[in-house]
């Protein structure tokens, strides 16, 4: 009951300003009482006013009242301002000088559209980095089928769900990407048992063992990073991604699929029937827009659609569903694929009515970058609009290439496109 007394602890640098604001309130009341002949605030202020009259004389009451009101308001304003500065200098030292901007930004972002982004790998974080500038109502639904690299080792050695894709999305959604984000992405280059591991993966693995599951671990780390939105695993069940190729052979393991060099017929999960995270289903149903990708078609996007309940939720949601096609083909996974081939794979695994719009890049990959990808066996994805139209999906073309060392989508341009679509209803 007396917890408010803690505000009077020494060292908070608040008491002096609270006292100033209190004095301002008394002066304001005294000034109003003088102007209204001391009838507003009772006996105490009447006494103060009578003493004031005896010193100044009643003939000066009108300007004395105005003076007291002005000084009182000034004291209240200064006291309140300094109390807020003391609080924010302690809680948000880096942003204290732009307090109003920070408050406006966070309030504005909370009013942004509800966006669900589904995928994994390095493609989904690209989208999230752009979206967080427009809204904080973001839910990233992330695959847990990864079995390669650091995530795969932790999965095999500790029995935890692979944390890598979740880590990437957490860093992308962080309020401000700082040294902490570099720390989470830091990868050990040496050390027995450490080499190849990401520090963020180790942290999530440790939190998973402490909290009981990856979902809780992600939520705890989300608080540390103050992310704009939330990251949700598509399922909390251990599952293996498998692929059947056109020659009838089957390969088990997400990391092994692109290495076969064969054309994929379909992918599936073992065991089947893994239930979706309830939060993922709820987010899809309540979304203003749902986005698939960008990212590896068969190993980052489609694994989420195979989780029981996700595909059905996509077909039932009232929000428009947008598939973002990759800019380049992926060797061993989508060799010689056109844009419509990508879309057919999505519809085959997610249902005929799973997608309403398809975003394609109309920008040109530069000669040097094109040559680099060509040497790796990749090329720009051809956009065959007529074939896409026949599948009942509307094409949205734009120059989305972020011209750096890699052919990636521009986060800001892509986010603006998605935000525009969020105001449309599903056809």
212-218 contact pairs (CB < 8 A, 24+): 213/161, 214/144, 214/160, 214/161, 214/163, 214/166, 215/277, 217/163, 218/166, 218/170
Question: Do the bridges between strand 115-119 and strand 289-292 make them parallel or antiparallel, or are there none, so unpaired?
Answer: parallel
Task: Record the tokens describing residue 154, joined without a space.
Answer: 């932790």
C-alpha span between 205 and 197 (Å, rounded) = 11
**Domains along the chain with CATH numbers:** 11-92 (no CATH), 107-143+234-421 (3.40.50.10680)
Specify the DSSP element, H or E, that contains 103.
helix 99-110
Q: How crowded is the C-beta side of 58, counted as CA atoms within 13 Å?
A: 5
C-alpha span between 419 and 409 (Å, rounded) = 15
pTM: 0.79
C-alpha span between 310 and 302 (Å, rounded) = 10
Cα three-residue angle 386-390-391, rounded to 5 degrees: 120
- Ranges of beta strands (E only) in 71-111 are none
Contact status, residue 349 vs residue 311, Cβ threshold 8 Å: yes
pLDDT (tens, 9 = 90+) of the chain, 427 residues, equals 455 555 555 555 666 666 766 776 766 666 666 565 544 444 555 555 566 556 555 544 556 667 767 777 787 777 677 776 766 666 555 554 555 555 556 667 888 999 999 999 989 999 999 999 999 999 999 999 998 888 888 888 888 999 999 999 999 998 765 666 777 888 887 777 778 788 889 889 889 999 999 999 999 999 888 889 999 999 999 999 999 999 999 999 999 999 998 999 999 999 999 999 999 999 999 999 999 999 999 999 999 999 999 999 999 999 999 999 999 999 999 999 999 999 999 999 999 999 999 999 999 988 888 889 999 999 999 999 999 999 999 999 999 998 767 889 999 999 999 999 888 766 6
Question: Do the bridges between strand 264-270 and strand 240-245 make them parallel or antiparallel, or are there none, so unpaired?
Answer: antiparallel
DSSP-based three-state secondary structure for 329? coil
């Amino acid at each position: 009951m007396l917890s408010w007394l803690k505000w009077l602890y020494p060292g908070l640098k608040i008491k002096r300003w609270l006292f100033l604001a209190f004095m301002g309130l008394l002066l304001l009341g005294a000034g109003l009482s003088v102007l209204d002949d001391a009838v507003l605030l009772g006996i105490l202020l009447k006494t103060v006013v009578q003493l004031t009259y005896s010193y100044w004389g009643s003939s000066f009451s009108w300007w004395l009242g105005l003076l007291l009101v002005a000084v009182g308001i000034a004291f209240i304003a200064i006291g309140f301002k300094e109390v807020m500065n003391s609080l924010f200098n302690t809680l948000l030292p880096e942003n204290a000088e732009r307090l109003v901007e920070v408050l406006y930004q966070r309030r504005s972002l909370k009013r942004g559209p509800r966006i669900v982004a589904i995928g994994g790998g390095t493609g989904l974080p690209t989208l999230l980095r752009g979206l967080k500038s427009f809204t904080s109502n973001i839910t990233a639904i992330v695959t847990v089928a990864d079995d390669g690299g650091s995530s795969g080792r932790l999965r095999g050695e500790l029995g935890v769900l692979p944390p890598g894709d979740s880590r990437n999305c957490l860093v992308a959604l962080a309020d401000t990407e700082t040294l902490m984000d570099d720390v989470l992405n830091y990868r050990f280059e040496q050390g027995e048992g450490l080499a190849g591991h990401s520090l963020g993966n180790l942290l999530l693995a440790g939190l998973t063992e402490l909290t009981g599951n990856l979902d809780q671990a992600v939520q705890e780390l989300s608080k540390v990073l103050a992310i704009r939105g939330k990251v949700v695993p598509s399922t909390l069940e251990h599952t293996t991604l498998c692929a059947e190729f056109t020659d009838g052979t089957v390969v088990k393991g997400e990391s092994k699929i692109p290495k076969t060099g064969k054309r994929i017929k379909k992918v599936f999960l073992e065991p089947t029937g893994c239930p979706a995270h309830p939060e993922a289903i709820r987010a899809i149903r309540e979304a203003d827009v749902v986005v698939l990708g960008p990212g590896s078609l068969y190993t980052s996007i489609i694994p989420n659609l195979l989780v029981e309940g996700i595909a059905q939720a996509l077909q039932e949601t009232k929000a428009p569903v947008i598939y973002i096609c990759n800019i380049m083909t992926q060797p061993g996974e989508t060799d010689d694929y056109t844009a419509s081939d990508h879309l057919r794979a999505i519809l085959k695994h997610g249902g005929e009515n799973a997608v309403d719009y398809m975003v394609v890049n109309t920008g040109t990959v530069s000669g040097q970058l094109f040559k680099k990808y060509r040497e790796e066996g990749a090329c720009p994805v051809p956009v065959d609009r007529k074939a896409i139209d026949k599948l009942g999906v509307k094409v949205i073309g734009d120059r989305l290439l972020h011209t750096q060392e890699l052919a990636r989508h521009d986060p800001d341009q892509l986010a603006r496109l998605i935000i525009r679509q969020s105001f449309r209803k599903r056809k």
